[in-house]
Amino acid sequence: MIGVISYLVFFATVASILSIAVLGLNLQWGNTGLFNGGVVAFFGAGAYGTLILGGTPQAGQLGGFGLPYLLALLGGMVCAGIVAWIVGLLTIRLRHDYLAIATFGVAVAFETVMRNTDALGGAQGIRGFERPLRETLGNGFTYNLAFFAFVLILLIATYLFLERLIQSPFGRLLRAIREDETAAQSLGKSPSRVRLTSFVAGSVIMGLAGGLYATFYAFISPQDVLPILTFQIWAMLIVGGAGNNKGAVMGTFLIWAAWTASGWALSRFAPLEVQLYTGSIQFVLIGFVIVGMLLWRPQGLFPEKLVVSQSAKNK
Amino acid sequence: MNGLKTSALALGLAAGFASFGTDAAAQDCTTKIGAVLPTSVDWGKPIAATAQYAVDIANEAGGVAGCQIEMVLRDTQVDPKVGVDAAKALVDLDGVQLLLGAVSSGVSMPILTSVTVPAGVMQMSCCSSSTAFTRLAEEGKTNGLFYRTFATSGVQAAVGAMVAQDAGYKSVAVFYKNDDWGQDIGGLVADDLKALGIDVTASIAINDGQASFRAEVTEALKGNPEAIYMALYPKEGTQVVREWISLGGSQNMIAANALKSDEFRDNVGMQYLANFTGTDTASPRTDSASAFVDAYTAKFDGPPNGPGLANSYDATMIALMAMHAAGKDATGADIAAKVASITDPNGTPVTADAAGFTMAKEVLDGGGTVSYQGATGNVQFDKNGDVSAPAVTWTFSESGIEEQKYISLTEVNDFMASLN
């Protein structure tokens, strides 16, 4: 029984971390209409930033500054923000699919740079990070439980922050730009500045998720920032419902559960001769879920609630 | 009604007594072990099949510590998140104390740091080669729970350099796969070549999945090397060699074991491979090694030519023997502590088949130690859980892959010492 609880805590931790990243994407895509195809770059910047700032020194590698954990995590978010700001400035004129292609390229470039720069860990990745409070909490279940609580608090904080943000006038402005940029401009708003703000804010949130992810594994390597992660995070948002924060979180838990449970179920119930092919079967199953979702409920499980204005809603 | 109950009881008792003391009674229990391997990629499947094969042999030999072994196999998809989750599920939900895997170092490492070490589960990898594991062990952070049967890249790099020296090449260009394995071995072989006074004209990273490697090949051609060294996999290896030869590069080639595949030979063409020499870590010259090849060939209708197969077999066998030595309901730490008594050079030599497994169990039950003569050699772990191994050089022939020269463990160790 303790095993089941221990696994559920572990699962919920990973799902919560991914939820934070999906919330970040929801701000960009769901609320502002920015097609970010390079989620892993910002996720990765947060992860690498956190480990480099908070890790112990390793021969031939940058970093090992051993900063206090919260400072390192914050530093990781700043890294993600800086990357997003530079990418945002460069791509500010790009819309829709052009932005998607450009950001996808950034993500691939990020992975390639990490893989080839020995000072940043190279293909072997960065290790030597001490998980915070490990001395006090030990290494086992207690630690995972405490870390889960920490992640959950951050998830709730992010959720509340974004809910507040999209209900504010700024949130309305984001949606206005998403729906009709020219109209927003005619009202004296600066779409490019707002788009950049939204892009950087969403990326910083992804960076937070990346930092938590790297902390949880005490390790990060280029294998963690492959394009598959971008695809997974997008799938979570699409299934949950773009534009709805609750949907983003639910979608993450659902997709990640489907991803892991299908592997577990296949290993448990598939006949022995099929066992070797479970990996491929799993990909097919997940593909079916996503395609089915797009066919039958393209707006997602929790569609965006369209509100004309706050005053109209409150009447 | 009462009579029926009584007779059923009597029957049950009789059946119980009849089977008492035979294997059947001892086999009522099942012990689960976990395996996290990339079964969704083509070269991962045979590695998993080989591990399962070793488990079958152990079960055939009466199981481990009186129980049959069930290997629960999970796919990593070569995705660290998925692999770690699978490992965690195996440890928490199935309660395994022994985990085999993973293949990629980038997956094995987070499993080690966030699942097996915290849970005190023993992890045995067949194929992770990164030197990062050695450093982690040196820092005392693996708690002695990690072992791998993949000889560190140092052995193959050294033998590759030895081949270049023996062939009298004065200059060599190095191509390496741009992953942890390739960067490791590419860097090591360049150092070894320089230590032997051989000029390294270029060290070039090969990223897989490219349509063409013309740019990389042209870069290597500039230095006009007498030979090339390749730490590549068959897919990109084939492409690199094709472009290299079509642009007029030398046909003197040295390669690490990852190119030991019939697919590579067929796709490049034998006429270009006359001066090709491969390296590999080797089996000892014992009957058990050839017995493995024979048994494998009989079982899978082909010799074990893919990367990591013999390593996967040995990883599983050694781990299961250690599990037996540790006894029933042993924890991961107990099992890990017993590995030394399986690979004790002064122990009773045992072969890597069902008979060897039975014999090992007898010796271990009597409190002795065994020296496992495996498919990858007379495996011996150092204090960091790493193995060294004898080596071979091999070439391609019309009929397949042929061994050229055997380099014993002593020779390998002496040569490696001479390089430093």
Q: What is the pLDDT of residues A54-79, one digit of tens each?
A: 888 777 777 778 788 899 999 999 99
Chain A residues 264-283 with a CB less than 8 Å from chain B: 264, 267-268, 275-280, 282-283
Position A188 scores a pLDDT of 87
Position A245 scores a pLDDT of 92
Residue contact B95–A140, C-beta within 8 A: no
For residue B51, pLDDT beyond 80:
yes
Position B22 scores a pLDDT of 43
Residue contact A11–B109, C-beta within 8 A: no
* A15-24, A133-142, B126-135: least confidently modelled range: A133-142
Position B54 scores a pLDDT of 92
Q: Which residues of B touch A140 (CB under 8 A)?
A: 118-119
* A130-144, A185-199, A292-306: least confidently modelled range: A130-144
Position A45 scores a pLDDT of 95
Q: pLDDT class for A87, splitting at 50, 70, 90?
A: very high
Q: Which residues of A touch B85 (CB under 8 A)?
A: 10-11, 14, 260, 263
Residue contact B40–A10, C-beta within 8 A: no
**Closest in B88, B114, B180 to A123, CB measured:** B180
Find the closest chain A residue to B80 by CA distance. A224
% of chain B beyond a pLDDT of 70 = 91
Q: pLDDT class for A156, splitting at 50, 70, 90?
A: very high
B216 touches chain A (CB under 8 A): no
CA distance B151 to chain A (A): 17
For residue B343, pLDDT beyond 60:
yes
CA A171 – CA A165 distance, rounded (Å): 6
Q: What is the mean pLDDT of chain B?
A: 84
Residue contact A279–B38, C-beta within 8 A: yes
Residue contact B179–A143, C-beta within 8 A: no
Q: Which residues of A touch B39 (CB under 8 A)?
A: 275-279
Q: Any idea which architecture B153-274+391-419 has in CATH?
A: 3-Layer(aba) Sandwich (3.40)
Q: Which residues of A touch B119 (CB under 8 A)?
A: 140
B95 touches chain A (CB under 8 A): yes
Q: Do the bridges between strand B98-101 and strand B68-75 make them parallel or antiparallel, or are there none, so unpaired?
A: unpaired
Position B420 scores a pLDDT of 67
Position B146 scores a pLDDT of 93
Enumerate the domain spans of chain B. 27-150+287-388, 153-274+391-419
Which of A32, A39, A37, A9 has the alpha carbon at shortest distance from A177?
A32
Q: pLDDT class for B8, splitting at 50, 70, 90?
A: very low
Q: Which residues of A touch B72 (CB under 8 A)?
A: 267-268
**Average pLDDT in the B375-392 region?**
80
**Average pLDDT in the B302-318 region?**
85
Please report, for residues A18, A163, B146, B206, B398, the alpha-carbon distance to residue B402 in angstroms, rounded to integers and kept in the order given: 50, 67, 33, 27, 10
Position B11 scores a pLDDT of 43
Q: Any idea which architecture B27-150+287-388 has in CATH?
A: 3-Layer(aba) Sandwich (3.40)
Q: pLDDT class for B23, splitting at 50, 70, 90?
A: very low
**Average pLDDT in the A76-90 region?**
94
Position B132 scores a pLDDT of 84
Query: In this structure, how many other beta carbons lie within 10 angstroms of the beta carbon of residue B374?
Result: 30
CB pairs under 8 A between A and B: 130
DSSP helix/strand/coil, B395: strand
CA B51 – CA B46 distance, rounded (Å): 9
B80 touches chain A (CB under 8 A): yes
**Average pLDDT in the A128-153 region?**
84
For residue B17, pLDDT beyond 60:
no
**Cis check: omega of the bond before B102, within 30 degrees of 0:** yes
Position B112 scores a pLDDT of 92
Residue contact B41–A112, C-beta within 8 A: no
Position A23 scores a pLDDT of 96
Position B28 scores a pLDDT of 72
Chain B residues 101-120 with a CB less than 8 Å from chain A: 104-107, 109-110, 113-114, 117-119
Longest dimension (CA), chain B: 94
Q: What is the mean pLDDT of chain A?
A: 87
CA atoms within 13 A on the CB side of A27: 31
Residue contact B81–A219, C-beta within 8 A: no
Q: For A88-97, how does the pLDDT look when each residue is reduced to its tens digit (9 = 90+)?
A: 998 877 777 8
Position B287 scores a pLDDT of 62
Residue contact A10–B86, C-beta within 8 A: no
Q: Which residues of A touch B100 (CB under 8 A)?
A: none
A57 touches chain B (CB under 8 A): no
The H or E element containing residue A93 is: none
Position B284 scores a pLDDT of 57
Residue contact A125–B180, C-beta within 8 A: yes
Position B69 scores a pLDDT of 92
Q: pLDDT class for B384, splitting at 50, 70, 90?
A: confident
* A17-26, A83-92, B128-137, B312-321: least confidently modelled range: B128-137
Position B373 scores a pLDDT of 84
**Average pLDDT in the A304-310 region?**
68
* A268-282, B42-56, B239-253: least confidently modelled range: A268-282
Q: For B178-220, how does the pLDDT look when each residue is reduced to its tens digit (9 = 90+)?
A: 887 888 889 889 989 998 889 899 999 998 778 888 888 988 8
For residue A285, pLDDT beyond 60:
yes
Please report, for residues B164, B178, B420, the alpha-carbon distance to residue B249 in angstroms, rounded to integers and kept in the order given: 16, 21, 31
CA A39 – CA A230 distance, rounded (Å): 5
**ipTM summary value:** 0.85
Position A150 scores a pLDDT of 94
Q: Which residues of B touch A264 (CB under 8 A)?
A: 74, 86, 89, 93
Position B16 scores a pLDDT of 42
**Closest in A14, A124, A279 to B132, CB measured:** A124
Q: For A218-252, how does the pLDDT look when each residue is reduced to its tens digit (9 = 90+)?
A: 889 898 998 889 988 998 998 898 889 999 999 99
**Average pLDDT in the B157-163 region?**
89
Position A272 scores a pLDDT of 64
Q: pLDDT class for A48, splitting at 50, 70, 90?
A: very high
A125 touches chain B (CB under 8 A): yes
A115 touches chain B (CB under 8 A): yes
Tell how far CA B17 is from the center of its chain. Answer: 44
**Closest in B40, B91, B136 to A280, CB measured:** B40
Q: Residues B163, B169, B174, CA angle at the centre, nearest 5°?
A: 75
Position A305 scores a pLDDT of 78
Position A133 scores a pLDDT of 77
B41 touches chain A (CB under 8 A): yes
Q: For B255-294, how does the pLDDT look when each residue is reduced to its tens digit (9 = 90+)?
A: 988 888 888 888 888 888 888 888 887 655 556 667 778 8
Q: What is the pTM of this model?
A: 0.81
For residue A134, pLDDT beyond 80:
no
Residue contact A124–B117, C-beta within 8 A: no
Q: pLDDT class for B27, splitting at 50, 70, 90?
A: low
CA distance B369 to chain A (A): 33
Q: Do the bridges between strand B370-374 and strand B377-378 make them parallel or antiparallel, or are there none, so unpaired?
A: antiparallel
Q: Which residue type is seen at B408? A: S
**Average pLDDT in the A183-194 region?**
88
